[in-house]
């Protein structure tokens, strides 16, 4: 299983061949790949992480940083989300970039939205609670006339999307039993050997986490189920409020099965489609995620186009800004605009699947995120993936290895330093 590598001969003139032996090789240095590498270290395994770019540049730095555990309330057993949240808190603390714990406020503007929220809050009273209209309008006075109440997601977290992956990778790289290799373009994989230019990694287990921005390596693996990609438009606004809870609205409820399958959800969808047809059609569900350094990330608006759409739709940005202005009641200053590519399984009409996982050969797993909820669950999914590969269940409360805390956080990949591996 190999891809053409036209530069291999030229590189071989300048780079001697190196071979490293390790227990686990992770291909892909995004947040999902780093989560799997950290999971391997929690089990005491040596790990080599290979990233083809000089830094993470895909979904790992383009998301909102919102860890929406409230939307996981009905996803399987409670053990996974609770353990995933503990892992996020501990790892973020050790990486020197603690996660915000102010939760999420989901505003209701109609009786139908309120009923869906009440149904979910009633099933999980320790993880979400309802706010009265007065409590909700205290948070956002500008939207007060239209608010009927709100749901307060108590467990939701916020991380800085621009720095969190870099911080976790530096945490991994400071571990003597881990090695991080950037600009390592993998061109062949099979039989427990991963080839990346002059570097050859021999590993008992290989985990490939290519994300939505890397399809080249997948051509070297046996064909799997086809996934499609969609483009999501994102904005960053100038600082408007202090760091606090994330805020979203009832349209966002349609994006998550725990709400979309709750009693009253059909009536809610019918009302939203009647009152906000364009917003529902394009998934314009404003989520306001405050950044620790100031400003807001506002997401999301789906372009609806498949693949790598080259252009943004200005009218979707306009819809997103209009909805945000209605919540904040002030003029908005856009500082940045970008797109996020997300994957989905066209056969999964219920939208219940958070990860797409396949095993192209023994000892190899390909793991790709499919939902907004996957960011919150990635560390727990990493434990499950390692458990399946090693035929050992994930511990109830996975321990975190005693690695050094990062105190001088820099987002650029030059801040990383790889430790020597075991060469042969």
Q: Encode pLDDT of 290-320 as tens digits.
A: 988 788 999 888 865 554 556 788 999 999 9
* pLDDT (0 to 100) of residue 59: 81
- Poorest-pLDDT segment among 4-8, 179-183, 262-266: 4-8
Burial environment of residue 158 by CB neighbours within 10 A (0 to 12, 13 to 18, 19 or more): buried
Confidence of residue 255 (pLDDT cuts 50, 70, 90): confident
Query: Which pLDDT tens digit goes with each residue over 320-349?
Result: 999 998 888 888 999 999 998 888 877 765
Confidence of residue 410 (pLDDT cuts 50, 70, 90): very low
Phi, psi dihedral angles at 59 (to 5 degrees)? -60, -25
Local structure of 277: helix, strand or coil: helix
Is pLDDT at 60 greater than 80 in this prediction? yes
Cβ atoms of residues 81 and 224 within 8 Å = no
pTM (2 d.p.): 0.85
| Of 293, 254, 277, 78, nearest in space to 164 by CA | 293
User: What single-letter DSSP state applies at residue 141?
Assistant: G
Is pLDDT at 8 greater than 70 in this prediction? no
* pLDDT (0 to 100) of residue 13: 41
Is pLDDT at 121 greater than 60 in this prediction? yes
Cβ atoms of residues 39 and 398 within 8 Å = yes
116 Cβ neighbours under 8 A, 6+ residues apart: 250, 253, 259, 262, 263, 264, 265, 268
| Residues facing residue 364 across a β-bridge | 206
* pLDDT (0 to 100) of residue 48: 97
How far is residue 379's CA from residue 354's CA, in Å, rounded to a whole number? 13
* pLDDT (0 to 100) of residue 423: 32
| Residues facing residue 202 across a β-bridge | 21, 193
* pLDDT (0 to 100) of residue 399: 44
Work out the mean pLDDT of the chain and round it to a whole number. 82
Phi, psi dihedral angles at 121 (to 5 degrees)? -65, -35
């Amino acid at each position: 299983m190999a891809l053409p590598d036209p530069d291999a001969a030229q590189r071989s003139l300048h780079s001697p061949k190196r071979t490293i032996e390790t227990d686990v090789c992770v291909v892909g240095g995004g947040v999902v790949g780093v989560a799997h590498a950290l999971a391997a270290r929690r089990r005491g395994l040596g790990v080599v992480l290979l990233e083809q770019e000089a830094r993470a540049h895909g979904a790992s730095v383009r998301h909102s940083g919102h860890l929406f555990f409230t939307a996981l309330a009905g996803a399987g057993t409670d053990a996974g989300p609770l353990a995933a949240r503990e892992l996020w808190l501990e790892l973020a603390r050790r990486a020197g970039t603690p996660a915000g714990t102010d939760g999420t406020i989901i505003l209701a503007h109609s009786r139908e939205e309120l009923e869906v929220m009440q149904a979910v809050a009633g099933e999980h009273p320790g993880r979400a609670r309802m706010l009265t209209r007065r409590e909700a309008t205290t948070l956002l006075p500008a939207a007060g006339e239209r608010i009927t109440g709100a749901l307060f997601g108590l467990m939701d977290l916020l991380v800085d999307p621009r720095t969190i992956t870099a911080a976790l990778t530096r945490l991994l790289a400071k571990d003597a039993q881990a090695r991080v290799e950037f600009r390592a373009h993998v061109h062949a994989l099979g039989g427990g050997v991963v080839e990346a230019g002059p570097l050859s990694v021999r590993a008992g287990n290989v985990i490939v986490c290519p994300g939505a921005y890397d399809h080249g390596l997948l051509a070297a693996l046996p064909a799997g189920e086809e996934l499609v990609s969609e483009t999501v438009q994102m904005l960053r606004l100038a600082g408007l409020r202090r760091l606090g809870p994330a805020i979203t609205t009832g349209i966002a409820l349609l994006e998550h099965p725990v709400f979309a399958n709750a009693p009253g959800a059909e009536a809610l969808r019918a009302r939203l489609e009647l009152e906000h047809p364009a917003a529902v059609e394009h998934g314009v569900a404003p989520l306001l995620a405050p950044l620790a350094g100031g400003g807001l990330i506002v997401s999301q608006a789906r372009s609806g186009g498949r693949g790598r759409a080259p252009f943004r739709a200005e009218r979707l940005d306009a819809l997103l800004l209009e909805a945000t202005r209605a919540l904040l009641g002030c003029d908005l200053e856009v500082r940045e605009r970008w797109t996020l590519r997300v994957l989905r399984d066209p056969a999964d009409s219920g939208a219940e699947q958070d990860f797409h996982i396949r095993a192209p050969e023994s000892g190899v797993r390909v793991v790709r995120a499919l939902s907004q909820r996957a960011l919150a669950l990635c560390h727990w999914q990493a434990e499950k993936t390692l458990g399946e590969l090693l035929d050992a269940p994930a511990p109830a409360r996975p321990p975190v290895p005693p690695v050094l805390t990062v105190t001088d956080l820099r987002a650029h990949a030059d801040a990383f330093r790889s430790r020597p591996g075991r060469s042969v």
